[in-house]
Amino acid sequence: MRAVLCDMDGTLVDSEKLWDVAMDALYDRLGGVLTPEVRATTVGGCAENTMRIVYGDLGLDPDPAAMADSARWLHDYTGELFDAGLPWCDGARELLDALAAAAVPTALVTNTPRLLAERALNSIGRHYFSVVVCGDEVAFGKPAPDPYLRAAELLDLDPRWCLAVEDSPTGAAAAEAAGCAVLVAPNAVPVPAGPRRRQVGSLVGLGLADLHEIYVELAAPSPRERACLHADTP
């Protein structure tokens, strides 16, 4: 394990509750009521996918300009909530402190747009992160692998040398597709299991040694992969 790549919302900071408030406000503005089922489908998603879900749910014309305006409104509203301060997820700050003390390269990898992420970093602290990759800085946001591939590229590392820390199905899928081992601490919604994923109840008590152990377990080739490697060996 040469680097740790961390999601933000729901993983480091318990901001999904603030997104709940903002999403409710957006639905009120658009003349609808957000259901828990629809909200669950937007957790961890990028702005474009979220707006497609919202407009589809409300039966609104999916006009790109209107959806972009709604996304801007949502982000401005959420930014005001962020400015009031972001609560840490249990164990997250202590884990970042441990990574910083050990000089482990750490990236923030989020679907949140840069302007809003910068406001969040005022609470979290920029000093923890070697690089920051935001959803509006890649061609496709999570669940596409682009954000994690970009973070590894900026760190000059192969994604297979990185451990991602995520809380949502969207984020876990993105990190796994990029080739990362994935530590999952579910927050707002359950996350399916996977061969490259280890689930924990929270980040409380996890130290650097624990992350290394999890990474080694997940990064080890599967029996099928070992058989392929053996077959390819002269």
Let me know if 9 is a catalytic residue: no
CA 19 to chain centre: 14
Beta pairing, strands 3-6 & 106-109: parallel
Q: Closest Cα to residue 215, out of 179, 189, 186?
A: 179
Q: Is 83 helix (H, G, I), strand (E, B) or coil?
A: helix
Q: Is 208 helix (H, G, I), strand (E, B) or coil?
A: helix
Extended strands (E) in the chain: 3-6, 106-109, 131-133, 162-166, 181-184, 197-199
Q: Which residues contact 188 (CB under 8 A, 6 or more apart)?
A: 10, 16, 40, 43, 167, 168
**Contact predicate 61/35, CB 8 Å:** no
* Distance spanning both ends of the chain, measured CA to CA: 28
Query: In whole angstroms, how far apart are CA 157 and each of 112, 152, 160, 173?
Result: 23, 5, 8, 20
Q: Which residues contact 154 (CB under 8 A, 6 or more apart)?
A: 107, 130, 131, 133
Among residues 7, 14, 57, 146, which one is catalytic? 7
Question: Among all residues, which ones are annotated catalytic?
Answer: 7
